[in-house]
Structure formats: C-alpha cells, structure tokens
Amino acid sequence: MLKIHQKYSLRNNHTFNTDIVSDLFTEPASPEELVFALRHTSDKGLNRLLIGEGSNLLFTSSFHGLVIHPILTGIKSVDESGSEILVKAGAGVNWDDFVASCVKNNWFGVENLSLIPGSVGAAPVQNIGAYGVEVKDIIDYVEVLDTSSMNFSMMPNHACEFGYRDSIFKHGDPDRYIVTAVVFRLKKRFEPVLDYGNIKKVFISKKRQDANALRETIIGIRQSKLPDPMETGNAGSFFKNPVVDQSVFQQIEASWENVPHFPAGKDHIKIPAAWLIEHAGWKGKREGDVGTWPHQPLVIVNYGGASGQEIFGFSEKIRQSINETFGIYLEREVTIVS
Ligand code: EPU
C-alpha cells in the first residue's frame, strides 16, 4: 500500500535546502503506484506536484496538495546494433549514477554530462546540457504516462520538441506527461567531445585518454566552478543564457569591451548570463543568506537560512538590474513553485 505522508518537510527533497512543508508527500515505486497516487489527487481534488530530486526548483511558500516523488529505478541495455547500444534508465535513477554506470559499462556519449544534479526523469524535461553536449543528442525515446488518458506511451526524440533548456514537457499543460523512463542511444566506441572551454587541455594532460578520464575532467571543472548542493543550497544556473537580436548585441558592444558571445541562429547572438551578471556588479554579492556564487555568478546560493521568498526577491533584483544595465530581461531557468 502506497504510504502518503502528512505535513512533510521537503528540506531534503530539493537542493535550495529551504525549510518548506508539503501538506502531503508520497514516493511511488512502480508505475501502478504512480497511477494510484495520481488517481488519489483527482479523486480528492488535490493539487499535485511531480518532482525528481528537486534540483531545478525554488519553493516560495508551503505546498498545499500532494508532492509525488516517483522512485522508478533500474538501468539496463535494451537493444544493440552495429556501433550503438540502447540503454533504458528509470526516471528515479540519480543522473550521475546513470553516467557513472554508462562509463563503467563502456556505453559512451554521456561523459560530458557528469555530475549534473537531478534524476534521469528530469533530464529530458529541461534538456540538460553541459560542456558541448545536450541530453537531446543522446535520447532515443522517452517513456511517459499520459495523465489525460492514464496510458503509458513512448515519445520518440523528435516528438519531445527539444530546445535550449526546453522541451514539450515544459509547454502546454506541463502536468500532462510524466516521464517514467528514458531510453538513450549510446555508442560502443569512445568519441570524446572536447570543444568546450579548456576541456581538451585538461583531458590530454590525463594519464590515459579514456571515458573515465573525460568524466574526471568534467567533474574537476564542475567542482572548481559550481557549489555542491549538499553543502551550499542552489539549483545550478538560475537564468538561461539570453539569445538576443544582432542589434541588441551591437548596442552592448558599443559600450562594453570584450563581450563574450556565440552565434545562435540567423541574426541572433547568445551572451553568457554570467558575464552580464558579473558586469552589472552582482558577482559574489551577498544579502543576508542569499548570494551569487563567487566563481559562477549565474548560480544563486542559499548560505544557510535563506527563505524561498528571499532567494526569489534577490533573483528579481538581479533581473531588474540586468534589464537597466543592458536592456535584456533574463529568463529564469529554475522553476518557481509558489
Ligand atoms: N563568465 C563570466 N564570469 C564568470 C563566469 C563566466 O563572465 O564569473 C562568462 C565567461 O565568458 C564564460 C561564459 O560566461 O566563458 C560561460 O561560462 P560557463 O562555461 O561557466 O557556462 P555558462 O554558460 O555560464 C552553461 C550552463 C551550465 C553548464 C555550463 C557548462 C546554462 C544556463 N548554463 O553555463 O549549466 O554547466 O554552461 O556547459 O546554459 C545549469 O543548467 O544549471 C548549469 C549549471
């Protein structure tokens, strides 16, 4: 029988580590239990919130309803052909455990996504990406529960409408599809992606240039720049890197030197939000227990006792300041639950 907890503290179920309580909380461990939990919310007219490891969420108040944290586990190869292998992982598998398992089994292609916090099920939702690889590049299909019909189905990669930190799972009714498993198309041969930043330099300095060395390289870079959510509450990049019209970029370039930028489709330019935040004077800034991380100001951190409201308020001040300084309104990457 599925246990439903009452007045449940979510402190350990999200990475901003704020003190938040949900009226109800449950952890279905099978597709049947997941269906039971969902039926329970519709029968009782309860709000519901599906979460993974809560590494991309900011709660700004207590949650009135049922928080559902599915713990569907398992990693296995499901098909193999020529140079590729299909690997299926349950939505509740910890993302980095999945990456470690792939590297150990010589299933290649996922090394650059090492150490990203969160679960396998959350990965396609925001199309996680780092160091030149996005998860959309290696997803074959996503298994979902369609809550409108309560049927389980498969969504091929193209149907997921992946974009930069974006997918169909964030649009329309974001509650409609619940990811239950993801099937990845991985390679049997190690073909490292080394084009981002100083990855190549660090990688070739390793004793052996194998997948494990690439994983170590990525872990080293992440640990030097990003706060460990187990020690300092955070949800990774708080904002997306803005994509602006060429004309907006030219205006900024007229007033600022050496503005980093990357082409982003016809007449559009991507500017690192971290640069904008730093040059508007917010790098390493702290107000009470909220601040930007000194090594990567795109990450907003909770130094201990900050509330969700305080973190949200701080983030809005940054947004306003960037808008005043550069005429760019940053889009949040983190999901706000109010
Ligand atoms: N920069 C600064 N000041 C800083 C740090 C960075 O100006 O203090 C500028 C530099 O020009 C640097 C550029 O920002 O070259 C890019 O920085 P970085 O390589 O750290 O990457 P990012 O664009 O800030 C993105 C992802 C990260 C991901 C890294 C590495 C987004 C919103 N964020 O950050 O993802 O780890 O690339 O691939 O796209 C996350 O999504 O939570 C996340 C951490």
Q: Whole-angstrom Cα distance, residue 86 to residue 78?
A: 6
- Long-range contact set of residues 194-197: C-beta below 8 Å, sequence gap at least 24: 194/132, 195/132, 196/112, 196/131, 196/132, 197/131, 197/221
Q: Which helix (H) or strand (E) holds 68?
A: strand 63-68
Domain formed by 75-225, architecture: 2-Layer Sandwich (3.30)
State how far the alpha carbon of 222 is from the alpha carbons of 131, 184, 330, in Å: 10, 23, 23
What would the pLDDT profile of 261-302 be if each residue is shown by its tens digit?
999 988 999 999 999 999 999 999 999 999 999 999 999 999
Query: 4-68 has which CATH code?
Result: 3.30.43.10
Q: What is the pLDDT of residues 38-78, one digit of tens each?
A: 999 999 999 999 999 999 999 999 999 999 999 999 999 99
Structure tokens at 12: 């350990």
1-40 pLDDT, tens digit per residue, is: 899 999 999 999 999 999 999 999 999 999 999 999 999 9
Identify the CA nearest to 240 among candidates 157, 153, 164, 137: 164
CA dihedral (60, 62, 64, 66) positive or negative = positive
Atom of ligand 1 nearest to the CA of 226: 44
Q: Which CATH number fits domain 233-337: 3.40.718.10, 3.90.78.10, 3.40.920.10, 3.30.565.10?
A: 3.90.78.10
Residue whose structure tokens are 């309560």:
150
Tell which atom from ligand 1 comes closest to the C-alpha of 241. 32
Q: Which residue ranges make up each domain of the chain? A: 4-68, 75-225, 233-337
Give the binding-site residues of ligand 1, using a 6 Å CB cut-off.
130-131, 196-197, 225, 236-237, 240-241, 260, 272, 274-275, 278, 283, 296-298, 333
**Residue nearest (by alpha carbon) to ligand 1 atom 7:** 275
Ligand 1 centroid to Cα of residue 223, in Å, is: 13
pLDDT in tens, 166-189: 999 999 787 899 999 999 999 999
- What is the token pair recorded at 259? 């503005």
- The order of strands in the sheet holding 296-302 is 233-237, 296-302, 290-293, 286-287
62 is catalytic: no
